[in-house]
Amino acid sequence: MMIPDISTILEVVLIAVKVVVVTMILFGLPLPLTWLERKVAGHIQVRLGPWRVGPHGLLQPFADMIKLLMKEDIVPDRADKFLFTIAPLLAMVPAFAVFVAIPFGENIVIPVINKEVSLYISDMNVGILYILAISGLGVYGIILGGWASNSKYSLIGGLRSSAQMISYEISISFAVIGVVMLSNSLSLVDIVRSQGGSLLQWNFFYLPVGPVWCAIFIIGSLAEINRIPFDLPEDEGTLGAGFHTEYSGMKFALFMLAEYVAMVSVSVLTVILFFGGWNSPVPLPIPIPPIFWFVAKVAFFIYFFMWVRFTLPRYRYDQLMTIGWKILIPVSLVTILITGFMRI
């Protein structure tokens, strides 16, 4: 038997550790995010938001978690039991799998063992392609959940979700193609590196097409992750709760988890593709760790998505389709053409 040498073993261990750390962070993130979302909602509506559980309601997510764990886990009588059970997982796993290809910073050196560690699990040379492919799979959880519930509301919610995904995935992909044309690479690390230097190197400021790409990407992503103003699949007004009408307890929590992780991944992608990733906006004399810029930008976009959620009303279904097919796709095609001419 061939015994692998020590550096290979260390490499494998390192990757395993990174996977565990990222997964733990992603499992933990929805807790502060639910709190933040409710606080933002409260303050935008001139209320206080969660207040009574812990100081400033900080322990509210834990109370919610305990509540969800204690709730009865209902599987409807006529539901497809198997699909009903795995649908939340199908929604959740792709949301997590996206983070395999996402870089969080340049390589750092761990001081004690003096080893260089990369801040990504895998730097694929087709990273962005992988992310688009995997995040598109998340919709299976929603469709199957809606289908397996054997309820009209769930089914319509699932159908809307799939239609929405098909309509907006195209324009998102075109927006990403634009970024790839600007950065000449499909690898996210290279995309970030190409935006280094200063503010003006960011893809967002590649005038006049940068802001257009960014707008298309953000609008399309909002539709992909089913957030207001595009949360037609869980339209409370007309569909009960949409695809998760029949879900309760932990299964429902998994759907919510998937939704929040998807929101984080969209924020991260927006930052990486358009806002220079971990690059600092202006050259500074004092060295600030790049991870700070990365987290700050991502936090801003997470706040931005919540801010939008409590600003805009929900679009009607025909408006959703009009925006997707009649505006975003033609605009993105024209912008690709312009970008192509500009890059000659």
Partner 1 sequence: MSDKKGIDILDLIKKVLFTDFVKGLKVTLGYNISKSITHRYPDDEKWIPYRRFRGVHTLNRDENGRELCVACELCVKACPTSCITVVPMEDDTGRGIADRVAKVWRVNLVRCLFCGYCEDACPTRAVRLGREYELACSDFRCTVRNREDLLMPQPVPESIEGGIVAKAKFERPLSGIKVTADLKVTKKRAW
**How far out from the chain centre does Cα 213 lie?**
17
Rounded to 5 degrees, what angle do the CA atoms 128, 134, 138 make? 140
Helix (H, G, I), strand (E, B) or coil at 115: strand
**CB of 196: closest distance to partner 1 in angstroms?**
29
Q: Which residue has the tokens 């760790």?
A: 289
Q: Which two tokens stand for residue 249?
A: 């307890």
Distance separating alpha carbons of residues 224 and 226, to the nearest angstrom: 5
Q: State the nearest-atom distance from the C-beta of 52 to partner 1, in Å.
A: 7
Q: Is 46 in the site for partner 1 (CB under 8 A)?
A: yes
Applying CB under 8 A, which of residues 307, 315, 317, 325 lies at the interface with partner 1?
307
Contacting range for partner 1; rule: CB under 8 A; set: 21-29, 40-48, 230-238, 267-275 = 40-48
User: Tokens 């324009």 — which residue?
Assistant: 171
321 vs 98: CA distance, rounded Å:
26
Task: Locate all alpha helices (DSSP H) within 76-151, ordered by sequence.
Answer: 81-97, 127-148
Of 232, 251, 252, 250, residue with least CA distance to 242: 232
CA 112 to chain centre: 34
Judged by CB under 8 A, the number of residues near partner 1 is: 16
Applying CB under 8 A, which part among 39-47, 64-72, 74-82, 188-196 lies near partner 1?
39-47
List the one residue out of 276, 163, 174 whose CA is nearest residue 230: 163
Stretch that binds partner 1, among 47-55, 114-122, 245-253, 270-278 (CB under 8 A): 47-55
Give the C-alpha separation, 237 to 239, whole Å. Answer: 6
Shortest separation between residue 308's beta carbon and partner 1, angstroms: 7
> Pick from 14, 22, 29, 44: which binds partner 1 (CB under 8 A)?
44
Least Cβ distance, residue 215 to partner 1 (angstroms): 8
* Strand partners for 117: 108
CA atoms within 13 A on the CB side of 117: 18
Q: Does 201 contact partner 1 by CB under 8 A?
A: no
Q: Closest distance between partner 1 and the C-beta of residue 260, in Å?
A: 20
Cβ pair 247, 162 in contact under 8 A: no
The smaller minimum CB distance to partner 1, of residues 48 and 66, is found at: 48
Q: Which stretch binds partner 1 (CB under 8 A): 22-30, 60-68, 251-259, 308-316?
A: 308-316
Q: Hey, which residues between 49 and 78 contact partner 1 (CB under 8 A)?
A: 51-52
In whole angstroms, how close is the CB of 184 to partner 1 at the nearest point?
A: 28
Can you tell me which residue has the tokens 């009408």?
Answer: 245
Selected binder of partner 1 within 26, 31, 33, 40 (CB under 8 A): 40
Find the binder of partner 1 among 205, 300, 310, 317 (CB under 8 A). 310
- Which of the ranges 25-33, 45-53, 194-202, 292-300 carries the binding residues for partner 1, by CB under 8 A? 45-53
- Site membership for partner 1, residue 109 (CB under 8 A): no
Residues in contact with partner 1 by the rule CB under 8 A: 40, 42-48, 51-52, 215, 307-308, 310-312
